[in-house]
Amino acid sequence: MHNQAFVTIGKLEDDLRGARAVIGGVNKNLLFITYRPSNIDVFSLETYTYLKKLQIPESYTSRQLSFHCIVLYPPEDDNESEPVAQNTKMLLVCRKFATVITFDEENENVRCEPLSNVPGRDSHQSSAYVYASDENKKDSLLLIGGYNETDKTCTAGVVRYSFKFGQWYEDKPLPYNLSASVAVHYPPFIYIFGGNDGYELVADVHRVNRDHWIAETQNEREMRECEVWWDQQSEGKKKELFEMEAKSDPDEFEQALQNEFEFFSINSERLQQVVSIIQRKKDEFDKEDEFKEMDVEVKSIYEAKSDEVTNSFSFSSSINFLFNVRGKLFLYFFFFF
């Protein structure tokens, strides 16, 4: 009840069999309800009223959206200061289809982006799903068991999605077939409650150590080592820049910047650092108008790319742009994404 009145979620004409919901929003005050055939309702937990009824394109859901999975994306780099990115971005998995859904609170609409298909899940639904994270903040979504609509059987298969690396992995299966169960992560264990083994309903509770499924793979380890190398090299180069800046020698500082940009691919955080260094140096040059022009261009490029540039290495394409300050300072920004 709310304000002495009953609150009803759903309408008489809605088919809520197999519906799934998740709490999100900038202030975590919204309930996102996903149900057949491809609906997503936005319900306010402050006013207890419906804000919006939206449609997810059916190409993203494969027939009926039911007995599926929907979770919030984890915060990027543990950045709790960015609640919009954290609480309005969701991952929906329906059979073999995986879709990133982002809700725009200002315009009250959704944007859908497809991910790679889930391996071994052409017709599966009714999987237990749980979000799990280890001590290294390696965030994963586990899909445990499920029901195959095609041959009418349960499965013991387990698949995992790594939010950090954006990849699906087929993990060690259960020792038994299971569908329609519920999973909870209570570190360091994952508890699986009840379900159906294909013959009858079961009331068992199983406990599995989290590392049984989310132990680091060789591919993940190599990528993590690359990130560690990047951080070490980045810190060293940043220190060199600050030391050069302290000398107040424009020529040496220009050369250091050129070396920096030629050696590194710049991610969004590094770009902010370099821009702040350039802005602090602007008083040492007499071409104020050119710096103002540069600031505008840097800001526009950064805003356009900040959501796309990542901290990992993926050298698929590049964008270059050029600044000329006092006729001799040429800064080449290389973006690899």
Residues 44, 277: Cα–Cα separation, whole Å: 44
pLDDT score of 70: 95
Residues 194, 182: Cα–Cα separation, whole Å: 7
- Please report, for residues 144, 145, 165, the alpha-carbon distance to residue 190 in angstroms, rounded to integers and kept in the order given: 11, 14, 22
**Long-range interactions of 233-241: CB distance < 8 A, separation 24+:** 233/264, 234/264, 234/270, 237/263, 237/264, 238/273, 241/274, 241/277
> What does the pLDDT profile of the chain (337 residues) look like in tens digits?
677 778 888 888 899 999 999 999 888 899 999 999 999 999 999 999 999 999 888 777 666 889 999 999 987 655 544 444 557 899 999 888 899 999 988 888 889 999 888 888 777 889 999 998 876 657 899 999 999 888 889 999 999 998 888 889 888 899 999 999 999 999 889 999 999 999 999 999 999 998 888 776 656 666 666 666 667 666 666 666 666 666 656 666 666 666 666 555 445 555 555 555 555 555 444 444 444 444 454 445 444 444 443 333 333 322 232 233 333 333 333 333 3
For residue 129, give the nearest of 22, 266, 246 by alpha carbon.
Answer: 22
Tokens linked to 193: 């409650």
Asked if omega into 119 is within 30° of 0 (cis), the reply is: no
What is the helix (H) or strand (E) element at residue 302, kind and residue range?
helix 288-305
125 in Cβ contact with 149 (< 8 Å) = yes
Tokens linked to 41: 């309702």
Q: Which residues contact 305 (CB under 8 A, 6 or more apart)?
A: 268, 271, 319, 335, 337
What is the helix (H) or strand (E) element at residue 227, kind and residue range?
helix 218-246
SS (H, E, C) 314-335: CCCCEEEEEEEECCCEEEEEEE
Residues 256, 44: Cα–Cα separation, whole Å: 53
Global confidence as pTM:
0.63
| 3-state secondary structure at position 212 | helix
Instruction: Specify the residue for token string 């294909």.
Output: 198
Q: Which residues pair with 125 in a beta bridge?
A: 147
CA 168, chain centre distance (Å) = 13
Residues 226, 174: Cα–Cα separation, whole Å: 33
Phi, psi of 83 (to 5 degrees): -65, -25
pLDDT score of 255: 67
Q: Where are the beta strands (DSSP E) in the chain?
A: 20-24, 30-35, 39-44, 50-55, 69-72, 89-94, 97-104, 109-114, 124-125, 128-133, 139-148, 153-162, 167-171, 182-186, 189-196, 201-209, 318-325, 329-336
